[in-house]
C-alpha cells in the first residue's frame, strides 16, 4: 500500500455496516480494540466506522488507517491532518491547553520552549533520581508476597515525575491523583464518543462529573504549586519558569505553567506505569525470557520493554482530523473526516510482525530491529507531535526493570491481562505477581 492514488482501488472505504441509527458506536464503546482489530481482519488496511446514523447528515465516518505507510502519511503531514478532534477537544476541556492538547501557533511556541527540557542530556540528569526511586519501590516489596504490578508501577512513575517536576515528593497527593486519572480518562473518552455533545455548561449529571474531576485535578496542581517555595532548585518547574521561546524570548504565562504541570503529571506517569506493568506481566509469564533479561544486559532490557509496548502500547490509538481533502491508498478522505491510527492494530500487522501475538523481545535486537519500516512501530507516535517524554520514559522504565529484575524473580499470577482502553490502555483489574528474591 502507498499513500498515492491507485486507480484500481474502489473509492468507497470498506467497513462494518453497524447499527442503522448508531453505526459502530455501540461496538466501539463495548470493545474498542476488538472492534478495530476485527475491522482490520475483515476489511484491510483502511476501514470506515460509521459514527451515528447511516444517513449522511445524521452521522459521520471515522476512517482508521492501519498500514504503516498510511500511518506515516497521517502523522507526518500536520498541514493535512490536524489535532482538533472530538477526543482532543474533550481532553482540552478537562486539562486545559498544555502541550498535549494545544494546537497551531500556541503549540508551536510551547514545543519550542519546552523541547530543551527533554533533550537526552537533560534527561540523563534524572538517572540518579530514577535509580533512587526504583530502589525505594523495589525495597517496599515483601519477599514472596503478592503485589499488584500496576499499583506498584503507578507509584514509581508518579514519584519519578513528581520529583523531576517539583524536586519534592508528592506522595500526599498521589492517592487522589491516581484515583482521579481513570475517572478523567473515562469521562473524556465517553464525551468524545457522544453523537450529540452538549456544552459542558449544561448541568447534566455527566457534565457535572466531568467538571468536578477537572476542578479536582487543578486543585491538586494548585496545592503542589502553592506549597512550593521558590528557591534555587534544579527541577522541571524552575525550568518551566525560566524557559523562554527561543524565537521571541517570551516566557510561559502562569496559566500555561499550570496546564503544563497537569499534562506532565498525567501524561508523564500513566503511560510509563502501563508500559512497565505490561512488560513485567509478560516477563512473569515467560520465565526463560525473564532469566535472560535479568542479567541486566541493556540491549535485552530495552528489547523486552519495546516488545511489551508492541503488544500493549499504552497509547493504543490516536486521532487526527483531515483539514483538507486528501487521499490514502487511493481512497479519498474528505476534509473534516476524523482519522484514527492505532499502534494496537498496526503492532499486530502480520506482514511485519510474524506470529504477532507471541512475546518475543528478540524482534528488537540487531538486524530484525533495524530493517523494519518506521511506522510498523510507533508507541510514542511520530512526526512533529511525537512524545516529548520518550527519552525520559525509556530511561525511567529501563532503570526500574533492571533494578527489579536483578533483585527479584517475578511470577505473574494471572494468565490473561484484562484491559480497559481509556485514553490510555489500563489494566481492568489488579495485575498480580509474586516476587521471589534471587
Ligand atoms: C511509555 C511511556 C509513554 C508513552 C507510550 C507515550 C506516548 C505518547 C504518544 C503516542 C504521544 C503522541 C500522541 C499523538 O500523536 O496524538 C505522546 C505525546 C506526549 N507525551 Fe508521551 N508517552 C509516554 C511518556 C511520557 C512522559 C514520561 C511524558 C512527560 C514527562 C510525556 C509527555 C507527553 C506530552 C507532553 C505529549 C504531547 C507532545 C506534543 O503534542 O507536542 N509522555 N506520548
Residue 184 pLDDT grade (very low, low, confident, very high; cuts 50, 70, 90)? confident
Mean pLDDT of the chain: 91
pLDDT: which is higher, 276 or 2:
276
Ligand 1 atom with the smallest distance to the CA of 260 is: 35
pLDDT in tens, 306-348: 999 999 999 999 999 999 999 998 899 999 999 999 999 999 9
Query: Residue 245 sits in a domain of what CATH number?
Result: 1.10.630.10
- Going from the Cα of 73 to the center of ligand 1, the distance in angstroms, rounded, reads 19
State how far the Cα of 387 lies from the Cα of 389, in Å rounded to an integer: 5
Ligand 1 pocket residue status of 382, Cβ below 6 Å: no
Report if residue 258 sits inside a domain.
Answer: yes
Residues paired with residue 48 on neighbouring β-strands, in sequence order: 63
What radius of gyration, in Å, describes the C-alpha atoms of the chain?
A: 22
Of 154, 161, 174, 184, whose CA–CA distance to 223 is shortest? 174
Residues 6+ apart with CB under 8 A from 351: none
Report if residue 12 sits inside a domain.
Answer: no
H/E element holding 152?
helix 149-166
Q: How many CB atoms lie within 10 A of CB 386?
A: 12
State how far the Cα of 351 lies from the Cα of 331, in Å rounded to an integer: 21
Q: How many CB atoms lie within 10 A of CB 63?
A: 21
Q: Residue 160 CA to chain centroid, in angstroms?
A: 17
Report if residue 3 sits inside a domain.
Answer: no
Residue 8 has pLDDT above 70, yes or no: no
Report if residue 114 sits inside a domain.
Answer: yes
Residue 57 has pLDDT above 70, yes or no: no
- Residue 145 grid coordinates: 508476597
Ligand 1 pocket residue status of 153, Cβ below 6 Å: no
Number of domains in the chain: 1
Averaged over 155-170, what is the pLDDT? 88
Indicate the DSSP class of residue 383. G
Among 78-82, 266-270, 303-307, 339-343, the range scoring the smallest mean pLDDT is 266-270
Residue 44 has pLDDT above 80, yes or no: yes
- Going from the Cα of 256 to the center of ligand 1, the distance in angstroms, rounded, reads 18
Residue 35 has pLDDT above 60, yes or no: yes
Pocket test of ligand 1: the residue of 95, 164, 386, 387 to mutate, having most ligand atoms within 8 Å of its CB, is 387
Residue 193 has pLDDT above 50, yes or no: yes
The yes/no answer to whether this complex scores an ipTM above 0.95 is: yes
Ligand 1 pocket residue status of 278, Cβ below 6 Å: no
Ligand 1 pocket residue status of 263, Cβ below 6 Å: yes
Which own/partner pairs from 333-339 qualify as long-range (CB within 8 Å, at least 24 positions apart)?
Answer: 333/63, 336/60, 337/60, 337/61, 337/62, 337/63, 338/51, 338/60, 338/61, 338/62, 338/63, 338/85, 338/86, 339/62, 339/63, 339/64, 339/65, 339/74, 339/81
Indicate the DSSP class of residue 244. B
Report if residue 2 sits inside a domain.
Answer: no
Residue 371 has pLDDT above 80, yes or no: yes
Of 273, 282, 275, whose CA–CA distance to 412 is shortest? 282
Q: Domain containing 81: what range? A: 25-437
- Going from the Cα of 387 to the center of ligand 1, the distance in angstroms, rounded, reads 4
- Going from the Cα of 57 to the center of ligand 1, the distance in angstroms, rounded, reads 35
Pocket test of ligand 1: the residue of 271, 347, 422 to mutate, having most ligand atoms within 8 Å of its CB, is 271
State how far the Cα of 255 lies from the Cα of 260, in Å rounded to an integer: 9
Residues paired with residue 148 on neighbouring β-strands, in sequence order: 432
pLDDT: which is higher, 234 or 235:
235
Residue 1 pLDDT grade (very low, low, confident, very high; cuts 50, 70, 90)? very low
Atom 7 of ligand 1: nearest residue by CA position: 380
Averaged over 192-215, what is the pLDDT? 88
The answer to whether the annotation marks 294 as part of a ligand binding site is no
State how far the Cα of 145 lies from the Cα of 408, in Å rounded to an integer: 11
What pLDDT, on a 0 to 100 scale, did the predictor assign at position 229?
Answer: 60
Residue 148 pLDDT grade (very low, low, confident, very high; cuts 50, 70, 90)? very high
- Report the percent of the chain where pLDDT is more than 90: 66
Residue 232 has pLDDT above 70, yes or no: no
Averaged over 433-438, what is the pLDDT? 93
State how far the Cα of 45 lies from the Cα of 59, in Å rounded to an integer: 23
H/E element holding 47?
strand 46-52
Averaged over 416-431, what is the pLDDT? 94
Residue 362 pLDDT grade (very low, low, confident, very high; cuts 50, 70, 90)? very high
Residue count (the chain): 438
Report if residue 11 sits inside a domain.
Answer: no
Averaged over 280-305, what is the pLDDT? 97
pLDDT in tens, 91-137: 999 999 999 999 999 999 999 988 988 999 999 999 999 999 999 99
State how far the Cα of 102 lies from the Cα of 281, in Å rounded to an integer: 34
State how far the Cα of 393 lies from the Cα of 418, in Å rounded to an integer: 24
Residue 217 has pLDDT above 80, yes or no: yes
- Map residue 431 onto helix, strand or coil: coil
Report if residue 149 sits inside a domain.
Answer: yes
Residues 6+ apart with CB under 8 A from 199: none
- Going from the Cα of 263 to the center of ligand 1, the distance in angstroms, rounded, reads 10
What pLDDT, on a 0 to 100 scale, did the predictor assign at position 230?
Answer: 58
State how far the Cα of 119 lies from the Cα of 123, in Å rounded to an integer: 6
Report if residue 163 sits inside a domain.
Answer: yes
Amino acid at each position: 500500500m502507498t499513500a498515492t492514488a491507485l486507480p484500481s482501488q474502489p473509492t468507497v472505504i470498506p467497513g462494518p455496516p453497524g447499527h442503522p441509527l448508531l453505526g459502530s458506536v455501540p461496538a466501539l464503546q463495548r470493545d474498542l480494540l476488538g472492534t478495530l482489530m476485527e475491522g482490520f481482519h475483515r476489511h484491510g488496511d483502511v476501514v470506515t466506522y460509521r459514527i451515528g446514523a447511516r444517513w449522511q447528515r445524521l452521522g459521520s465516518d471515522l476512517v482508521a488507517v492501519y498500514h504503516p505507510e498510511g500511518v506515516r502519511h497521517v502523522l507526518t503531514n500536520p498541514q493535512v491532518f490536524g489535532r482538533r478532534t472530538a477526543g482532543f477537544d474533550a481532553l482540552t476541556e478537562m486539562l486545559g491547553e498544555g502541550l498535549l492538547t494545544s494546537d497551531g501557533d500556541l503549540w508551536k511556541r510551547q514545543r519550542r520552549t519546552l523541547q530543551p527540557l527533554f533533550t537526552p542530556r537533560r534527561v540523563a540528569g534524572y538517572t540518579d533520581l530514577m535509580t533512587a526511586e526504583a530502589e525505594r519501590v523495589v525495597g517496599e516489596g515483601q519477599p514472596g508476597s503478592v503485589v499488584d504490578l500496576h499499583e506498584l508501577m503507578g507509584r514509581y512513575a508518579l514519584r519519578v515525575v513528581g520529583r523531576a517536576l517539583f524536586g519534592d515528593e508528592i506522595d500526599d497527593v498521589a492517592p487522589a491523583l491516581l484515583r482521579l486519572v481513570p475517572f478523567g480518562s473515562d469521562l473524556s473518552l465517553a464525551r468524545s464518543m457522544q453523537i450529540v455533545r452538549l456544552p459542558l455548561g449544561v448541568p447534566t449529571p455527566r457534565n457535572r462529573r466531568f467538571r468536578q474531576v477537572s476542578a479536582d485535578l487543578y486543585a491538586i496542581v494548585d496545592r503542589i504549586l502553592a506549597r512550593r517555595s521558590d528557591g534555587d532548585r534544579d527541577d522541571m518547574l524552575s525550568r518551566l519558569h525560566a524557559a523562554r521561546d527561543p524565537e521571541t524570548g517570551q516566557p510561559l504565562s502562569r496559566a500555561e505553567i499550570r496546564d503544563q504541570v497537569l499534562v506532565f503529571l498525567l501524561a508523564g506517569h500513566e503511560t510509563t506505569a502501563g508500559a512497565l506493568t505490561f512488560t513485567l506481566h509478560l516477563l512473569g509469564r515467560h520465565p526463560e525470557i525473564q532469566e535472560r533479561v535479568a542479567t541486566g544486559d541493556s540491549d535485552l532490557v530495552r528489547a523486552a520493554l519495546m516488545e511489551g509496548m508492541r503488544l500493549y502500547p499504552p497509547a493504543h490509538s490516536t486521532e487526527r482530523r483531515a483539514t483538507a481533502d486528501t487521499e490514502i491508498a487511493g481512497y479519498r478522505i474528505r476534509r473534516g473526516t476524523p482519522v484514527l491510527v492505532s499502534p494496537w492494530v498496526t503492532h499486530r500487522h502480520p506482514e511485519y510482525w510474524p506470529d504477532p501475538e507471541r512475546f518475543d523481545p528478540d524482534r528488537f535486537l540487531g538486524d530484525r530491529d533495524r530493517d523494519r519500516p518506521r511506522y510498523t512501530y510507533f508507541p510514542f507516535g511520530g512526526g512533529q507531535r511525537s512524545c516529548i517524554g520518550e527519552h525520559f520514559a525509556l530511561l525511567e522504565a529501563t532503570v526500574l526493570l533492571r533494578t527489579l529484575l536483578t533483585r527479584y524473580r517475578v511470577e505473574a499470577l494471572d494468565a490473561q491481562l484484562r484491559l480497559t482502553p481509556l485514553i490510555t490502555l489500563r489494566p481492568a483489574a489488579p495485575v498480580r505477581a509474586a516476587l521471589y528474591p534471587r
